């Protein structure tokens, strides 16, 4: 897997797109698709944390199959739990050889090798997790981690604004106002729409994309 050059331009693209939206569906779509293309990875998901069930509820995804997304309930205590409990990003190099993976066989079948999970925090409140998935083993760099953490923070703030504007009690309630996140479609342009995945950020800048 060729790693793209991640820089401020990548973050600015996604941040600018998110900042123009007030619909949680659109914010989710732009985030998961933007991160997938920016890092040139297999896919990306966003989960919101439910304090009642202690489970992570899928808010949206990009690049992953319906079968994998419906593999079963995602426990906040079993699925890369330290990303939530310690409020720190967790990098999994080999999903088949790490006890922190809740569904290793499902990940193998999906063709996932490595996972990076970053907590989504608003103020002092943990509201969810942003995760990226790679098809080949990936040694995540500090740059990779900081980029994903920055996007997670921007997403969290945008979702919090939606929650306040809609008068909802909790971020998880936003899911109740959304269509099925697995079939979420949008007419809005995403930060990387129309840009070949093989392009690196350096090439985009050189081409003036």
* Banded pLDDT at 206 (limits 50, 70, 90): very low
Residue 181 has pLDDT above 60, yes or no: no
Supply the pTM of this predicted model. Answer: 0.80
Residue environment code for 85-116, b if the CB has 16+ CB neighbours within 10 A, otherwise e: eeeebbbbeebeebebbbbbebbeebebbbbb
Residue 37 has pLDDT above 60, yes or no: yes
Q: Is residue 110 part of a domain?
A: yes
Q: Is residue 182 part of a domain?
A: no
Q: Is residue 197 part of a domain?
A: no
pLDDT tens for 60-94 read 999 999 999 998 888 755 556 555 666 889 999 99
pLDDT at 198: 37
Q: Which residues contact 205 (CB under 8 A, 6 or more apart)?
A: 9
- In 3-state terms, what secondary structure has residue 58? strand
pLDDT tens for 150-160 read 999 999 999 98
Domain that holds residue 134: 8-175
Closest CA to 69 of 90, 33, 30, 43: 43
Do the beta carbons of residue 120 and residue 130 sit within 8 Å?
A: yes
Q: Is residue 203 part of a domain?
A: no
pLDDT at 185: 53
Q: Is residue 190 part of a domain?
A: no
Q: Give the CATH number, domain containing residue 34.
A: 3.30.450.40
Distance in angstroms (rounded) separating the CA atoms of residues 73 and 82: 17
Q: What is the three-state SS of 102-162? A: CCHHHHHHHCCCEEEEEEEEECCEEEEEEEEEECCCCCCCHHHHHHHHHHHHHHHHHHHHH
Q: Is residue 98 part of a domain?
A: yes
pLDDT, averaged across the chain? 80
Q: Is residue 67 part of a domain?
A: yes
Structural domains of the chain, count: 1
Beta bridge partners of 114: 134
The mean per-residue pLDDT over the stretch 39-52 comes to: 89
Q: Is residue 192 part of a domain?
A: no
């Amino acid at each position: 897997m060729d790693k793209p050059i991640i820089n401020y331009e990548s973050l600015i693209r996604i941040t600018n797109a998110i900042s123009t939206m007030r619909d949680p569906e659109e914010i989710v779509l732009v985030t998961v698709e933007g991160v997938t293309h920016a890092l040139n990875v297999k896919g990306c998901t966003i989960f919101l944390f439910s304090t009642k069930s202690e489970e992570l509820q899928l808010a949206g995804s990009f690049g992953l199959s319906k079968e994998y997304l419906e593999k079963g309930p995602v426990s906040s205590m079993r699925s890369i739990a330290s990303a939530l409990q310690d409020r720190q990003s967790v990098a999994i190099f080999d999903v088949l050889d790490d006890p922190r993976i809740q569904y290793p066989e499902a990940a193998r079948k999906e063709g996932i090798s490595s996972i990076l999970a970053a907590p989504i925090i608003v103020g002092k409140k943990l509201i969810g997790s942003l995760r990226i998935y790679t098809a080949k083993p990936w040694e995540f760099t500090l740059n990779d981690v900081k980029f994903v953490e920055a996007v997670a923070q921007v997403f969290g703030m945008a979702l919090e604004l939606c929650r306040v504007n809609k008068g909802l009690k909790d971020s998880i309630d936003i899911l109740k106002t959304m269509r099925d996140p697995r079939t979420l479609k949008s007419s809005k342009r995403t930060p990387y729409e129309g840009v070949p995945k093989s392009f690196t950020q350096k090439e985009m800048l050189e081409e003036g994309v």
